Structure 1
Amino acid sequence: MPDGAGWPPVLYAGPADMAARFGLQELIALAPLPDSEALPANGPPVFADRWPESGTENQREEGEGSGGPLPPYDAARVNDALERASREADSYLAVRLPVPLDTAGGIPQPLGAAVCDMARYHLCAGFGMQDSEAVERRYREALAWLREVARGAAAIVVPAPPEAPLPQAPEPEVIFRPGRHERFF
C-alpha cells in the first residue's frame, strides 16, 4: 500500500499504545492541551488499563475517575510524533522489507514498542521539553534494534493477514456412460 497522496499514513503504534506503555499522565505531560488541568503531574502514573479506578481524589468524587471521559491531550501532536517515528522506522525497514508494512494482520510487538519509544523522544525533543536520560536511552535502543533489522542480524516477523476461507469447488459429477469400461454396459 503506497504512502503517497490520498493515502492515510500507516502508523505502527497509536495514542492508546502510548498510553498503555507510558501511562496517561505522561501522555498528557508530553502533549497537554492549552489550559488543561486533567491530572496533576506529580501523581503516580495512571495506565490506560487502570484508568476507570484511577485518578485524583477530586476526580473520583466528581465521577471523572470512574469511567468518565479520559483526560485531554493534544492528539494532533501525539499523532504527529507517531507518524514521524513510523516514517523513521520505515527508513530502516526499507533496506529489507517493502514499506510501509502491510499491517492487516497486526503490527509486530517489537516494532510497536520501538515506535512508541521513538515518538516519546520526539514529543520531548520536538516541543522544547528536556528529555531525560531514560527517554533518550530507549530512543537509541529502538534505533539500534532497527539498524540490526536493516543489517539482517535481527528479524521482524510481520503477522500474515487473516485469510478468508477459499470458496469450495462443487463436487464433480460422476457420469457413467455405457461402453466406456468393461464393468459397465
Structure 2
Amino acid sequence: MSYATQPDLVARFGLQELIEQTDRVNAAVIDAAVVDRELAYASAVIDGYLAARYVLPLPTVPDLLVGLCCDLVRYALYTDAAPDIVRDRYKAAVASLRDISNGAIKLDAATPSAASSGLVEMVGSERLFSRAVR
C-alpha cells in the first residue's frame, strides 16, 4: 500500500523540483519509475513503524501519513546533498513515525493491533484444587 502518489508530491513540492530530481538526463519530465520506486520504499518504511502499533493495511490513509511519505520520498530523491529544509523535514518525519510507533501520536482511522493494547494477558492451566466435593 502506497501512502502517497506522484500527484501528492507535485502538489506539495512543485513540478519543477520533481523533474529536476528524477529526470537526471534531460530535466524535462518526471521519471515515474524513479518516483514509484521511492514511494514504494517510503511506504515500506512507514509500514515498519506502523506495524508495531496498528493492523495493516490501514482502512484509509490519514493526511498525516501522506505528508510524512512525501517528506521521506523528497529526501530520497536528492542524490547529492539535500537542502537543509529537505533534511529537516525528513528528520521530523522519522521522529513523527517513531512517535506513532510508540503511541505518542495516534492515528484515528487505524485499528490498534493486539500487541499494542498495553494490556497483559495471563494464561494458566486448569485449577488443580477447588472447594467442590466430588
TM bracket (short chain): 0.7 to 0.9
Matched letter for residue 5 of structure 2: G
Out of 9, 13, 18, the residue aligned to residue 27 of structure 1 is 18
Q: TM-score, normalised by structure 1?
A: 0.56
- 1:17 aligns with 8
Matched, 1:95 2:52: yes
Structure with bigger gyration radius: 1
3-state SS in 2 of match to 1:76: helix
Deviation per residue, 1:54-92 (Å, 9 max, x gap): xxxxxxxxxxxxxxxxxx210010111111111101111
Deviation for aligned residue 1:35:
2.5
Letter in 1 for 2:73: A
Q: Shift of the alpha carbon at 1:19?
A: 0.1
- 1:53 aligns with none
The answer to whether the aligner puts 1:84 opposite 2:75 as a matched pair is no
Paired amino acid for 1:110: L
- The 5-angstrom pairing of residues 4-153 of structure 1 reads 10-32=1-23, 34-36=25-27, 38=28, 72-103=29-60, 107-124=61-78, 128-153=79-104
The percent identity for this pair of structures is: 40
In structure 2, list runs of 5 or more residues that go unmatched: 112-134
Aligned partner of residue 92 in structure 1, secondary structure: helix
Greater RCO structure (CA 8 Å; 6+ sep)? 2
Following the alignment from structure 2 to structure 1, what is the Cα–Cα distance between the partners of residues 72 and 82? 12
SS in 2 for 1:154: coil
Which runs of 5 or more structure 1 residues have no equivalent in the other structure?
1-9, 39-71, 161-185
- For the Cα contact (< 8 Å) 2:52–2:101, is it kept in 1? yes
Offset from partner CA, 1:80-117 (integer Å, 9 cap, x none): 111111110111111111223233xxx21010000000
Which one has a larger percent helix, Structure 1 or Structure 2? 2
Distance 2:110 2:63 in 1: 10
Q: TM-score, normalised by structure 2?
A: 0.77
